[in-house]
Structure 1
Amino acid sequence: MQNTQMRNKAVIAVVDDDESLRTALEGLLRATGYLALTYGGAREFLDSEGPELAGCLISDIQMPGMCGVELYEVLRSRGLELPVIFMTAYPGEKPRINTEMPGVIACLPKPFEADQLLDCIETALLPKP
């Protein structure tokens, strides 16, 4: 596990149209020493400073408007290589997400364990060689 000092410097962006999940993830992230920025959709995230501030993005796949994969593609086209952790409530989508896609850390099926997400975040925040 990373130390708390390192965590305190990490900004994690959460993009999900489910307000209760965003609130729960924000609480978890803050309780474990991260700074959480939450957004109700991809466009809201893209129109904010979030893409430049975040050290990691946690995004739902299925959202109204722009889906998580499209959000990933827009970020990449802008030259932003943020590590991404996808979440999905639809098990059939998991094969669509290729964890070989640059920067994609995991695709977690909802519901997932807090420790599972935190492990993915720590992997995402590891210094690049």
Structure 2
Amino acid sequence: MTNICSLQISESRDFYTKLFDFAIDYDSEWFVHLISKDKQLELGIIEMNSEIVPKDIRKEPTGTYITFVVDNVDEVFETAKKNKYEVIQSPENTFYGQRRMLLKDPNMYIIDISSPI
């Protein structure tokens, strides 16, 4: 399970459940646990200033990005536009055989969304 530190818990929850195959398993003011509908992937969203979060990482993310492989990146792109999420790069075909787009989540994480061509 990967945890994302957030100052916007509800916005982050909505971002990941609208764009990807996540259901809400647990929801509170300080932590949200998401699980894919096939129960193969888990994602936590935790309040950045929680005492549980190590002090050294209570800041805007740098040097990392999260990749999700989906069946159809263009469908995710349309959902992102409809919800007015920040698109950094519209879908385009890559030299390595994927169709790829980039978004920013509510916490400033770069989200790479790809589909095999």
Q: TM-score, normalised by structure 2?
A: 0.32
Q: TM-score, normalised by structure 1?
A: 0.30
**Is the radius of gyration larger for structure 1 or structure 2?**
2
Higher relative contact order (CA closer than 8 Å, sequence separation 6+): 2
Task: Indicate the structure with greater strand content.
Answer: 2
Task: Indicate the structure with greater helix content.
Answer: 1
